[in-house]
């Protein structure tokens, strides 16, 4: 029964979005509420992209509801090394995504809901959207102390951030999206959003850290489904449309032609890491070797996620100078990525003189270098 | 250098101009006459591609209102640079204001002449963002790329109005449409803001002509034009005929990229590898027994959460062979004067990942059981696919096995990875007919195995190494280990009562480390087993 209705909903969406021969997308009138059936961050970001690029919102608007399995999402102009603990994320298999809107870094998991308000560029109005959310929350749980700040955050009990906002403006359309913490894993959140990397100098947009709390902690009866439903209902009321949520499958090319290209683009290394604004790393490696600690000064310039300039200051003769310069030369142009550096260095080692001592020093240096990434 | 023009465009000299850093001569090609009426093509006219715009009029494109009362933004990224040509609606830059990222698009067609801000500078609403040099003439949109074609109204290919919406397409796309007599209004655009992309034109053509276009959008292959379908009106000039089938015009461009990082390192290693004098040997091995054994042991391994492939068996067999022929587990120094016999058998397994060929190794195989090897291999494989192998996993290898069988190959000629002296390549196991001693045909699981080893220039060493390989493979050890591998205790398999015991014993065999004989253990050990 449920399956049937969701199928019906999907078809409805394709009717609205289907393009007649002339390449003319039908104009939205009124409003549309859609929800993604996927929990993949890249697919869902691709849907946002698709709607932004392809829907004509002159007379209508869209509310998009989505949730993701654990992922860290950085803003368009941010530096992931500055914002999160990439090492920990790799270990825990938490994905990293870069969204197209601005703003700071957030952590998503299934205990967090995401709302995107699509409007015509002229009707871009973040405050209204957030007030709508607050109204829906209060309708659901009247004793909740929630309000919107002038930084477009939603605070619980006057101090805990439960929602962050970001926006993207194009030529004709715009969207404003925000998160909402229902029962996310706060422990993981705080550990992944703390960067261990030192010595980074960058003009990338920094995030403003804030204490967070889950709505669930205030009102244990709340679930993500309830929140999504309440917000959809409020939206439907305000825009005088049917409280009907259309399900959308972000992998469906027939409904969303060109969507898989968008998903691929968002997953590509060139987008996620390569779009990091130029930055430099200036730090000191304290390498523990046998019974002593070796201080190695490292200076790197990273552009488009690749090492543009590399300077490693090793103690004299610790590594044969020819090999040292070989290593530095191979780092230059390489991705600022621990896997790349490890495979590169271990491969190069094959054509170096076979000296165990030298090999262990080489490996030590590389391991320490990868800790910067 | 700019072309010159006079007045509203009666007589115009069109020069071929390139704006680049080195000085180039202006080649003046043809002088042509045109006025508005002559814009409908006739074939006497030849208009040439211009890469500069005529009669530059610099327009200051101001940063428009962002909304919400915002007055200033930070420029975050430029999508264009000075000298680039842009079309209306192309993205120019990305600016950020208070958590909002805004894509600024061009209002004009033209050439970027000046960027008013650098990245990270503050830009102000209402103040100039870029200077664009546009075409002076109004009413007619600037037509930059013009080619000889059958007649088609010029106006059709500029901004077409459909139901009050403009069709967006870059000049290159419009040219492609024009060359193929396609009306832009007929094409479904899949680009941003319904913009028509090159792929859309090609798709449209494919449907029209039934031509199968190559999947790569990078190759701009324009299919042959059909005879009469899309030609609208009879050409006035009879001299011009549409050929029945045009040769395919391929206008893809070469792309050069530097080799960096891991690939650069691989180039070095492989070049060094191919300098080593090689001796190769290939043979076929009957693995019927091994296939059977693995089937029996797979569920036992699964109980312990280990995926058991054939590799652990090959790795262990290789190690047992290396015990007999330690020269294969050696390394030569650079001057080829000294051989170092390595004590540990760190057997590398070649893995194909997105980056390329990675060879992590299993350490000290000589003291590991098949099960331990399988478990370690699982660990390396999952780290490998996650891109998280460490330096320790990737260094210290003394011998390598490469499995082409996983991608379906049956033969291989592997390349030795320095500083090792030998490598084995394993093909796919196939079920093939073979003759036995009595001349009867039987089913056999056959695998082709190829080895490569260092061929030394010195006669003596050469013989030693090559001979070792042959002996190792052919005679008693590697091959026979695999061919003859069966549980040392082959209790008759159909006896129910002993069935359970047999399985327990197999399990114990499987888990024992320090195997004394191929894959099994001595009878004394067996008597000390704990039966569950």
Residue B142: both structure tokens together: 């600037």
What distance in Å separates the CA atoms of residue B223 and residue B211, rounded to the nearest whole number? 7
Architecture per CATH, domain B58-134, reads as Beta Barrel (2.40)
Count of H-run helices and E-run strands, chain A: 13, 16
Which residue in B61, B75, B78, B100 has the most chain A C-beta atoms within 10 A of its own C-beta, making it the best mutation to test that interface? B100
Q: Which residues of A202-220 are buried (b: 16+ CB within 10 A; e: fewer)?
A: bebbebeeeebbbbbbbbe
Q: Which residues of A touch B107 (CB under 8 A)?
A: none
Q: Which residues of A touch B68 (CB under 8 A)?
A: 124-126
Identify the band that residue B449 occupies on the pLDDT scale cut at 50, 70 and 90: low
- Report the pLDDT value the prediction gives residue B484, as an integer from 0 to 100: 47
Q: Which residues of A touch B269 (CB under 8 A)?
A: 347-348, 350-351
Q: What is the DSSP string of B172-236?
A: HHHHHHHHTT--GGGSPP-SGGG-B-HHHHHHHHHHHH-PPPPS-TTS-EEPPPPSSTT--S--S
Sequence ranges of chain B with CATH classification 4.10.320.10: 171-207
Residue A39 reports pLDDT greater than 70: yes
- Report the pLDDT value the prediction gives residue B47, as an integer from 0 to 100: 43
Residue B22 reports pLDDT greater than 70: no
- Report the pLDDT value the prediction gives residue B249, as an integer from 0 to 100: 67
Are B319 and B409 contacting, i.e. CB atoms less than 8 angstroms apart?
Answer: no
Indicate the range of B175-179, B436-440, B497-501 predicted with least confidence: B497-501
Q: Does the distance separating the beta carbons of A152 and B258 come in below 8 Å?
A: no
Which residue in B93, B261, B274, B420 has the most chain A C-beta atoms within 10 A of its own C-beta, making it the best mutation to test that interface? B261
Tell which A residues from 242 to 301 touch B, by Cβ distance under 8 Å: 257-258, 277
- For residue B282, give the nearest of B412, B95, B144 by alpha carbon: B412
Sequence ranges of chain B with CATH classification 2.40.50.100: 58-134
**CA-based nearest residue in chain A for residue B334:** A353
Q: Does the distance separating the beta carbons of B331 and A347 come in below 8 Å?
A: no
What distance in Å separates the CA atoms of residue B461 and residue B454, rounded to the nearest whole number? 10
Return the CA Rg of chain B: 36
More confident residue, B181 or B1: B181
**CATH fourth-level superfamily of B277-485:** Chloramphenicol acetyltransferase-like domain (3.30.559.10)
Of B76, B167, B394, the CB nearest to A343: B394
More confident residue, A125 or A21: A125
More confident residue, B156 or A278: A278
Angle between helices A126-140 and A224-239 (to 10 degrees): 120
Output the pTM of the full model.
0.71
- Report the pLDDT value the prediction gives residue A111, as an integer from 0 to 100: 95
More confident residue, B271 or B216: B271
Residue A271 reports pLDDT greater than 90: yes
Q: Where are the domains of chain A?
A: 30-273, 279-371
- Report the pLDDT value the prediction gives residue B207, as an integer from 0 to 100: 66
Indicate the range of A16-30, A93-107, A233-247, A336-350 predicted with least confidence: A16-30
**Cα–chain center distance at A260:** 18
DSSP H/E element including A231: helix A224-239
Residue B380 reports pLDDT greater than 90: yes
Minimum distance, in Å, between the CA of residue B181 and any CA atom of chain A = 16
The number of residues making up chain A comes to 373
pLDDT above 70: percentage of residues in chain A: 92
Average pLDDT over residues B25-53: 43
Query: For all residues of chain A together, what is the average pLDDT?
Result: 89
What distance in Å separates the CA atoms of residue A181 and residue A108, rounded to the nearest whole number? 9
Query: Which position has the token pair 């399995």?
Result: A69
Angle between helices A338-349 and A356-370 (to 10 degrees): 170
Summarize pLDDT for B385-396 with one digit per residue, the tens: 888 899 999 999
At residue A113, what are phi and psi to the nearest 5 degrees?
A: -110, 150
**CA-based nearest residue in chain A for residue B275:** A351
Residue B503 reports pLDDT greater than 60: no
- Report the pLDDT value the prediction gives residue B209, as an integer from 0 to 100: 58
Q: Which residues of B touch A304 (CB under 8 A)?
A: none
Query: For all residues of chain B together, what is the average pLDDT?
Result: 66
Residue B209: both structure tokens together: 């002509």
Q: Does the distance separating the beta carbons of B387 and A101 come in below 8 Å?
A: no
Minimum distance, in Å, between the CA of residue A319 and any CA atom of chain B = 17
- Report the pLDDT value the prediction gives residue B525, as an integer from 0 to 100: 35
Q: Are strands B399-403 and B351-352 parallel, antiparallel or unpaired?
A: unpaired
Minimum distance, in Å, between the CA of residue A1 and any CA atom of chain B = 35
- Report the pLDDT value the prediction gives residue A109, as an integer from 0 to 100: 94
- Report the pLDDT value the prediction gives residue A101, as an integer from 0 to 100: 94
What distance in Å separates the CA atoms of residue B115 and residue B95, rounded to the nearest whole number? 13
Q: Which residues pair with A300 in a beta bridge?
A: A281, A310
- Report the pLDDT value the prediction gives residue B357, as an integer from 0 to 100: 79
DSSP H/E element including B371: helix B370-386
Average pLDDT over residues A206-233: 93
Residue A156 reports pLDDT greater than 60: yes
Average pLDDT over residues B338-351: 88
Average pLDDT over residues A57-63: 89
Indicate the range of A285-294, B223-232, B429-438 predicted with least confidence: B223-232
**CA-based nearest residue in chain B for residue A173:** B193
- Report the pLDDT value the prediction gives residue B55, as an integer from 0 to 100: 59
Tell which B residues from 391 to 430 touch A, by Cβ distance under 8 Å: 391-392, 394-396, 417-419
Residue B472 reports pLDDT greater than 70: no
Are A169 and A121 contacting, i.e. CB atoms less than 8 angstroms apart?
Answer: yes
- Report the pLDDT value the prediction gives residue B167, as an integer from 0 to 100: 62
CATH of domain A30-273: 3.30.930.10
Summarize pLDDT for A79-138 with one digit per residue, the tens: 999 999 999 999 999 999 999 999 999 999 999 999 999 999 888 889 999 999 999 999
Q: Which residues of A touch B333 (CB under 8 A)?
A: 353-354
Identify the band that residue B408 occupies on the pLDDT scale cut at 50, 70 and 90: low
Are A189 and A160 contacting, i.e. CB atoms less than 8 angstroms apart?
Answer: no
Look at residue B15 and give its three-state secondary structure: strand
Residue A18 reports pLDDT greater than 90: no
Summarize pLDDT for B109-150 with one digit per residue, the tens: 889 989 999 999 999 999 999 998 887 554 333 333 333 333
Q: Of the ranges A78-82, B103-107, B202-206, which is most confident?
A: A78-82
- Report the pLDDT value the prediction gives residue B73, as an integer from 0 to 100: 92
- Report the pLDDT value the prediction gives residue B248, as an integer from 0 to 100: 67
Q: Is B198 exposed, middle or buried (0-12, 13-18, 19+ CB in 10 A)?
A: middle
What distance in Å separates the CA atoms of residue B445 and residue B288, rounded to the nearest whole number? 5
Q: Which CATH class is domain A279-371?
A: alpha beta
Which residue in B65, B99, B163, B341 has the most chain A C-beta atoms within 10 A of its own C-beta, making it the best mutation to test that interface? B99
More confident residue, B79 or B17: B79
3-state DSSP: chain A helix, strand, coil percent, rounded to 5? Answer: 35, 30, 35
Q: Which residues of A touch B101 (CB under 8 A)?
A: 75-77, 100-103, 166-169
CB of A308 less than 8 A from some CB of B: no
Average pLDDT over residues B209-219: 44
Identify the band that residue B338 occupies on the pLDDT scale cut at 50, 70 and 90: confident
Indicate the range of A139-143, A172-176, B57-61 predicted with least confidence: B57-61
Identify the band that residue B216 occupies on the pLDDT scale cut at 50, 70 and 90: very low
What distance in Å separates the CA atoms of residue B207 and residue A142, rounded to the nearest whole number? 59
- Report the pLDDT value the prediction gives residue B310, as an integer from 0 to 100: 86
Identify the band that residue B30 occupies on the pLDDT scale cut at 50, 70 and 90: very low
End-to-end CA distance of chain B: 91
- For residue A5, give the nearest of A245, A226, A252 by alpha carbon: A245
Are B415 and B423 contacting, i.e. CB atoms less than 8 angstroms apart?
Answer: yes
Are A241 and A35 contacting, i.e. CB atoms less than 8 angstroms apart?
Answer: no
More confident residue, B168 or A225: A225
CB contacts < 8 Å between A and B, how many? Answer: 178
CB of B191 less than 8 A from some CB of A: yes
Summarize pLDDT for B232-277 with one digit per residue, the tens: 444 444 445 555 666 666 767 788 887 878 888 888 888 887 777 7
Residue B411 reports pLDDT greater than 70: no
Identify the band that residue A265 occupies on the pLDDT scale cut at 50, 70 and 90: very high
CB of A134 less than 8 A from some CB of B: no
- Report the pLDDT value the prediction gives residue B498, as an integer from 0 to 100: 40
Q: Which residues of B136-161 are buried (b: 16+ CB within 10 A; e: fewer)?
A: eeeeebbbbbbeebbbbebeebbebe
Identify the band that residue B5 occupies on the pLDDT scale cut at 50, 70 and 90: very low
Q: Does the distance separating the beta carbons of B99 and A75 come in below 8 Å?
A: yes
CATH topology of domain B171-207: Dihydrolipoamide Transferase (4.10.320)
What is this model's ipTM? 0.83
Which residue in A20, A22, A287 has the most chain B C-beta atoms within 10 A of its own C-beta, making it the best mutation to test that interface? A22
Q: Does the distance separating the beta carbons of B389 and A342 come in below 8 Å?
A: yes
- Report the pLDDT value the prediction gives residue B117, as an integer from 0 to 100: 93
């Amino acid at each position: 029964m449920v399956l049937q209705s969701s199928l019906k909903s999907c078809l409805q969406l394709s009717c609205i979005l289907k393009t007649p021969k002339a390449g003319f997308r039908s104009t939205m009138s009124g409003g549309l509420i859609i929800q993604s059936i996927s929990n993949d961050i890249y697919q869902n970001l691709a849907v946002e992209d698709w709607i932004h690029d392809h829907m004509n919102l002159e007379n209508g608007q869209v509310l998009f509801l989505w949730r993701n399995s654990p992922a860290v999402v950085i803003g368009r102009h941010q530096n992931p090394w500055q914002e999160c603990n990439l090492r920990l994320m790799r270990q825990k298999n938490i994905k990293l995504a870069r969204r197209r809107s601005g703003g700071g870094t957030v952590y998503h998991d299934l205990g967090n809901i995401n709302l995107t308000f699509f409007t015509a560029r002229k009707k871009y109005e973040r405050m209204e959207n957030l007030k709508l959310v607050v109204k829906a929350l209060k309708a659901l749980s009247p004793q909740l102390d929630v309000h919107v700040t002038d930084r477009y955050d939603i605070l619980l009990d006057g101090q805990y951030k439960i929602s962050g906002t970001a926006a993207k403006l194009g030529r004709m359309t715009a969207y404003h999206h925000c998160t909402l913490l229902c029962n996310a894993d706060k422990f993981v959140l705080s550990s992944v959003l703390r960067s261990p990397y030192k010595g980074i100098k960058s003009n990338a947009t920094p995030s403003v850290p804030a204490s967070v709390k889950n709505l669930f902690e205030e009102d244990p009866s709340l679930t993500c489904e309830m929140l999504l439903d309440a917000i959809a209902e409020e939206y439907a009321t305000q825009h005088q449309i049917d409280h009907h949520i259309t399900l959308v499958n972000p992998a469906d090319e027939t409904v969303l032609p060109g969507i898989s290209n968008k998903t691929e683009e968002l997953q590509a290394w060139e987008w996620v890491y390569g779009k990091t604004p130029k930055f430099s790393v200036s730090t000191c490696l304290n390498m523990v070797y046998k019974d002593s600690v070796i201080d190695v000064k490292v200076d790197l310039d990273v552009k488009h996620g690749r090492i543009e300039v590399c300077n490693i200051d090793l103690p004299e003769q610790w590594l044969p100078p020819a090999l040292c310069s070989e290593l530095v030369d191979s780092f230059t142009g390489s991705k600022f990525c621990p896997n790349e550096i490890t495979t590169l260095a271990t491969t190069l080692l094959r054509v170096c003189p076979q000296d165990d001592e030298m090999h262990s020093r080489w490996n030590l240096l590389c391991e320490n270098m990868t800790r910067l990434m | 250098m700019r072309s010159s023009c006079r007045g509203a465009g009666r007589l115009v000299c069109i020069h071929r101009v390139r704006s680049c850093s080195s000085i180039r001569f202006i080649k003046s090609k043809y002088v042509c006459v045109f006025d508005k009426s002559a814009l409908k093509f006739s074939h006497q006219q030849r208009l040439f591609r211009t890469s500069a715009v005529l009669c530059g009029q610099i327009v200051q494109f101001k940063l428009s209102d962002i909304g919400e009362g915002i007055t200033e933004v930070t420029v975050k990224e430029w999508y264009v640079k000075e000298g680039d040509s842009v079309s209306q609606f192309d993205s120019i830059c990305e600016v950020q204001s208070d958590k909002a990222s805004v894509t600024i698009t061009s209002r004009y067609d033209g050439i970027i002449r000046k960027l008013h801000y650098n990245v990270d500078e503050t830009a102000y609403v209402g103040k100039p963002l870029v200077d664009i040099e546009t075409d002076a003439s109004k009413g007619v949109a600037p037509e930059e790329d013009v080619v000889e074609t059958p007649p088609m109204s010029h106006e059709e290919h500029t901004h077409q109005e459909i139901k009050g919406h403009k069709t967006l397409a870059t000049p290159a796309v419009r040219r492609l449409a024009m060359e193929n007599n396609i009306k832009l209004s007929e094409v479904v655009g899949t680009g941003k803001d319904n913009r028509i992309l090159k792929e859309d034109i090609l798709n449209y053509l494919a449907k029209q002509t039934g031509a199968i276009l190559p999947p790569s959008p990078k190759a701009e292959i324009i299919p042959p034009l059909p005879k009469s379908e899309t030609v609208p009106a009879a050409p006035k000039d009879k001299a011009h005929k549409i050929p029945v089938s045009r040769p395919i015009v391929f206008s893809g461009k070469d792309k050069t990229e530097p080799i960096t990082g891991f690939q650069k390192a691989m180039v070095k290693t492989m070049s060094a590898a191919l300098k080593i004098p090689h001796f190769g040997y290939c043979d076929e091995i009957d693995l019927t027994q091994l296939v059977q054994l693995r089937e029996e042991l797979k569920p036992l391994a699964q109980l312990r959460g280990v995926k058991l492939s054939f590799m652990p068996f090959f790795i262990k067999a290789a190690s047992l062979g290396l015990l007999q022929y330690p020269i294969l587990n050696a390394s030569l120094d650079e001057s080829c004067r000294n051989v170092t016999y390595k004590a540990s058998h760190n057997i590398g397994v070649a893995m194909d990942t997105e980056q390329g060929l990675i060879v992590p190794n299993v350490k000290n195989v000589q003291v590991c059981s098949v099960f331990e090897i399988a478990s370690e291999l699982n660990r390396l494989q999952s780290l490998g696919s996650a891109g998280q192998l460490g330096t320790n996993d990737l260094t210290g290898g003394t011998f390598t096995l490469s499995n082409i069988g996983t991608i379906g190959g049956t033969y291989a000629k592997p390349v030795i990875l320095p500083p090792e002296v030998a490598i084995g390549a394993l093909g796919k196991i196939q079920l093939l007919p073979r003759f036995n001693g009595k001349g009867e045909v039987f089913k056999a699981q056959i695998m082709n195995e190829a080895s490569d080893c260092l061929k030394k220039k010195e006669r003596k060493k050469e013989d030693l190494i090559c001979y070792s390989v042959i002996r190792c493979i052919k005679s008693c050890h590697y091959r026979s280990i695999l061919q003859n591998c069966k549980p040392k205790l082959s209790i008759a398999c159909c006896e129910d009562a002993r069935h359970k015991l047999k399985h327990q014993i197999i399990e114990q065999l499987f888990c024992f480390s320090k195997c004394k004989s191929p894959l099994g253990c001595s009878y004394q050990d067996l008597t000390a087993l704990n039966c569950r």
